[in-house]
Each structure stands twice: as C-alpha cells, then as structure tokens.
Chain A
C-alpha cells in the first residue's frame, strides 16, 4: 500500500502550481491506519460483504424483532385447519406452529436468544483464550507448560457429551449458566492460536525495542503484541459466534438447553418435531434456515476478515 500512497502523493507534486522545491508533497496524503486498510480489502470480498450484511440484519432483528412482533405464547387459535396449523400460504410469511402461532414471530423472537448466546459466549471464550494464550506464549517455560496442558485437557474431553452433562446438571434451563458453560468449553482452541502468535511475535525486534525503552511485561504482552495478533483472533472470534449458535440449537433440540417456554431457534426446532409427521414442515424449516443462514454468513465474514486482516495480503 506504500506504492498506492506514493502514487497518490505524486499528483500534487506534478501540479505546476507546486513550484517550491521544499514543498512536502506528502502533506496532501491521507494516511490510512490498519483498520482503514483492512476495510478497503474487506469491501472487495463480495461474499463477505453479503455475509456481513446478513449478520448485521440478524443483530438488528435480535434487537427490534421481539419489540415489533412480540410472540405471545398464549395466543393459541381455535380455528386451526388441522394439527399441522396454518401453512405459509394461509398465514404468511412463514405459516404457524401447531397451535396457530406465527412462525415468523417465533423466528424473530428466537433471534434474540440465539444471537445473545452466540455473542456473549464468544466474548467469554475470546477473553479467556486470549489471556491464557498470551500469558503462555509470552512468558513461555513452565507457565506455558502448565497452561497448555490445561488446554490439552479441555480439548481431549468430548465436547458434546460434556456440554450435555453440564447443561443438565448446572444449566437448569437458565440462560446465564448455559452461556457460562459454552464460554468455558470453547476457549482452548483460541488459546492455542494466541499462544502460537505470541511465540512468534515476542521474538520480533519491536518487542525488544519496547523492552529497551523500559516497558513492563504485561504492557508489552497486551499493548504491544496483542494488537499485532488481533487479526487472527477476530477471525476465530466470528467463527466462535457461529459455533455457539449451533451448540445452543443442538443442546436445546435435545431438551438439555433452555426451558421449553423460552423462544430460541433451537427450542423451536425441538418443539416442531411433534408436528412434522402431520405435514408441518415450515415450523422446523424456518428456524433451521435462520440458523444456517446466520452460521454461513458468519463463516463468509470470517473468510473475508481473514484476508482483510492478513498484513501480507496488501495489494
């Protein structure tokens, strides 16, 4: 990108008006920081732009959906055409569940819990994973050894089984324990990644230069090295959101997750099972579709971020 800025900067120098030889032609340049450069590269990635758009839509839906289209569990209708409820044609856009309640409202309300679980789980795991990985990678030696064995321990236990057991015994159908369980189980992969990044970054000369200026260890680790590792961390973080959403759907589907009366995409899938045999495909389909759409858009976003935040991809 240095080339681009130079080319941009030469334009005013070629201007006959700029006669003074001492004129600092670079003054006219707009200097882009890393984020502006990343955004420039991200914009070129069409799927990532679409993915980002869908993801933003889901977040907006999670915030305002339940306000505009509140879901009333008691709004059971008596004029049902049959046990399958209203089809999407009879009750647009998404039809109704077995009791005549709008599946669209179900989806709009479920977005809130699903996105909430996805984002907060991501925040918890990213925090734990980054701190553990940074400390292990920066200090190395025995600390590294202890922390990485802990990571091995977490990675060696079968995740789905532990999630189900923990959700049954500690979850109690409540939101906060469920998020805590997900967050505590999803950080080890990120910790390994951050450790590897720190191992290579701590050998960089700017780290030694910072130490030579008298900067302390924690400040070097979290103020100097961490920003350099942020790209891969952000990419992993987006994928963690997708993981957590899937995990919630999975756990709730098996009735180990949120209480049956909570409205989430996973619960909707679970409840819809009862009417699938009588021809109601739309009740499970639309929540499932929204899960898939969100997860795919997050993956596209992660892909675009990976390219945009990689300092080596500078065209």
Chain B
C-alpha cells in the first residue's frame, strides 16, 4: 500500500485510519485488464470515500473507469482478464479485497447492493419478478419462502408500483423499462444494504422516467439511510442528487469535492470542459463548447498528464510530468495549474477562463 490521502472530505488521519462515519473507503485502487494487446489500466490509483447515508457522484466520460471501479468494489470482475493489482476497499472497516469468495457473497446484496444500467436485460426472463426479489431475501435473511414472498410484495410496493400482489407474479417482459428499473431498485433494497451502487441507473430510460427513478432512489435512501454511489455521465443528475463528487478521467480521479464546489467552481480543465459542454438556454446561436479530441488510447497513454493532449491550458510541464492527486496541493485536483510541477512555476495565465462561461 502506498500512502494515499485523498478523499472528497478529509476525515482520514495521517496514519490511514478511517473515521467512524466513513462507510466505504477506497484507497489507491488499481484494476488492470490483461488482454491480448497488452495491459489496460482501467482504474489506475483511485481513492475516495463515502460517508454513511451520503451520496457520492462519480462522473466522467465513457471508458474512464467508473463502472470498473464499481465492479471492483463488488468484486464482480472476471479474474482473469481483470486483476485488482493493488489497493484497499475498506467497507465498514473490512477490506473487501481480502474476503473469501464465500464471505464476499454475503456482502453482495446484503451490505452492498447494485443497480445496473440496463433494466431491460438485468432481470432473468424466465422468473417472475417476485421470485427474483424473494431469492435475495431467502439468501441473506434466511426467511421462509412465504415470508420472502411477502417481503417482495412489500418492497415492490415501496418502489411505487401499483397492485404489487399482482406484479410480483409477472414476468419481466410484461413490465415497462421504468417499472423494471423500479423492480431492480426493489431487489437491491430488499435486504436493507448499507451501500447502494447505482451504475448509470437512468441512462436507458426516457427523461420523465429518469426524474421519477432519481426521485425514488433519493426517497428510499432517505428512508433506509443507505449511502449511495451514483455513477453517471449526466451532470444534471449529479447536481440534483449527490453531496460529493469524484471526477474521473482515464482511470484516475482528477478532481474531488463537494457538489457545489465542483460544479460551480470547477478547478480541473476537464471538469470545466464537461460543464461547458452542457447546452444551456442562454446559448442560442452560439457554438457549443466541446472537449476536443478523444479519451487517450489505453495502450498508449500520454507521457505527462493524461488530459494534456485535450487541455486548452496545457503548458510545458504537462507534457512531461504526470500530476497525481495524491501529491496535489490543494489536495482535491490533479493539475499543474494548481500544484507547482517539479521545476516549473505555475503560469499566471493559467486561470483565464474561456469567454462566455460564468463560474
């Protein structure tokens, strides 16, 4: 384990002990995929923590390692080709990476539950939804089939589905997409997990249903006191839902902080780029800002900062030195605009923002 002192909030002491209100503490997680063409560093030194009952938003482009981080926490990756090279995932004081498969099975669904992106395919087509919810309950709470079935009806009711007694007997193909996602949420919540990981829970749904599902997640979170890790690339969702934000780029955390801090006063050029590429009402007739270029090739990462080739503020040290959020000062952004790079002063022009964008 290397030292790691990054977190949205600085509860952690220098000795690396975790404060009691921290539920999940991910430290220097590195998940690599060994494939035919080489090694993909999908998650390359990610650290963050989630406090009990709080919501953490994980944002970033497709392919930046958000989902792999989540799957690493759940230990759902196929090993090989994946390998969790190093890191610690402290959940309630236990390192999930050191649990046996058997112990991990009791954590999954019971302590940490997950909601997936695709409600259409995440339910088994040959079982009724009641069967699938009851299975989780039987597995973890050792209730009888009858009690588990009642619990399934109860949790279907809790996620706002009408006529639960009838719905539990239906098959997934008889439900709409929004309803299936509600069922997934009911399934995830049926065992009262302490942490809920939602991997783009609304991406596959249309906008009105998205709002309902987010509202529902927020509501059940309030009721159960579960912490939530919300993975999304939708900054609108982040602004409405989360307390803290982790911005990821190419397998790294590039910026962390409270939702207000990150969204209203973004520090990292990448975060700024994400925010300025959202269309807004006042922009009629203007060209929409985009982050030029694409995510770097995972087999051929830039030598210095991963974001340098796309960064409008890039200057000399960015092509040579790799900014790590672990070494950053201030500690919440990995960028040479804020932390002096070895041998280079911070350029004074650094913080000139593109015109027309309020901070």
Using CB atoms and an 8 Å cutoff, list the residues of chain A in contact with chain B: 1-2, 5, 24, 26-27, 31, 33-34, 204-206, 208-216, 224, 227-228, 311
* Residue in A closest to B174 when the chains form the complex, CB atoms: A31
Whether B109 contacts A214 by the Cβ 8 Å rule is yes
- Chain A min CB distance to B102 (Å): 8
Which of chain A's residues have a CB closer than 8 A to the CB of B244? none
Contact partner, A209, options B105, B107, B184, Cβ 8 Å: B184
Q: Among A1, A214, A216, A228, which residue has its beta carbon within 8 angstroms of that of B125?
A: A228
How far apart sit A34 and B174, CA to CA, in the bound complex (Å)? 12
| Interface members, chain B 84-114 (any A CB < 8 Å) | 105-110, 113-114
* Residues of B142-182 contacting chain A, CB below 8 A: 162-163, 166, 169-171, 173-174
A204/B76 in contact, CB under 8 A:
no
Whether a CB of chain A sits under 8 angstroms from the CB of B139 is yes
Residues of B within 8 Å of A24, CB to CB, are 162-163
List residues of chain B with CB within 8 A of the CB of A224. Answer: 124
Q: Which of B76, B113, B125, B171 contacts A206 (CB 8 A)?
A: B125
Question: What 4 A-B pairs are tightest by C-beta distance, nearest first?
Answer: A214-B109, A213-B109, A214-B108, A212-B114
- Report chain A residues within 8 Å CB of B128: 33
Listed A/B pairs (20) with beta-carbon separation below 8 Å: A1-B173, A24-B163, A27-B163, A31-B169, A34-B125, A205-B118, A206-B122, A206-B124, A206-B125, A208-B122, A209-B184, A212-B108, A212-B109, A213-B113, A213-B139, A213-B187, A214-B105, A214-B139, A216-B105, A224-B124
Contacts of B121 in A (CB 8 A): 204-206
- 17 more contacts with CB within 8 A, not counting A206-B121, A212-B74, A214-B108, are A1-B173, A31-B169, A34-B126, A204-B121, A205-B121, A205-B122, A206-B125, A208-B76, A209-B123, A212-B76, A212-B113, A212-B114, A214-B105, A214-B109, A214-B110, A215-B135, A228-B126
What does the 1/0 interface line of B116-145 toward A look like (CB < 8 Å)? 101001111111100000011001100000
Residue of A nearest to B162 (CB): A24
Consensus secondary structure, chain A interface:
helix
Residues on the A chain within 8 Å of B108, using CB: 211-214
Range class of the B interface residue count: 35 or more
User: B residues touching A (Cβ–Cβ < 8 Å)?
Assistant: 74, 76, 105-110, 113-114, 116, 118, 121-128, 135-136, 139-140, 162-163, 166, 169-171, 173-174, 184, 187-188
Residues of A within 8 A of B166 (CB): 26-27
Given contacts A212-B109, A214-B105, A214-B110, A205 and B116 within 8 Å (CB-CB): yes
CB distance from B77 to the nearest CB of A (A): 10
Query: Once bound together, how far apart are the Cα atoms of A40 and B335, in whole Å?
Result: 64
Q: Which residues from chain A contact B162 at a C-beta distance below 8 Å?
A: 24
Q: How far is the CA of A33 from the CA of B129 in the complex (A)?
A: 12
List B contacts of A228 (CB < 8 A).
Answer: 124-126
Residues B173 and A2 in contact, CB atoms below 8 Å apart: yes
User: Which of A206, A211, A212, A224 lies at the interface centre, i.e. has the most chain B CB atoms within 10 A of its CB?
Assistant: A212
Q: Which residues of A contact B140 (CB under 8 A)?
A: 214
Q: Is there contact, CB below 8 Å, between A215 and B123?
A: no
Note all chain B residues with C-beta closer than 8 A to A213.
Answer: 108-109, 113, 135-136, 139, 187-188
Which of B124, B135, B162, B188 has the most chain A CB atoms inside 10 A of its CB? B124
List B contacts of A206 (CB < 8 A): 121-125
**Chain A residues, CB < 8 A from B125:** 34, 206, 228, 311
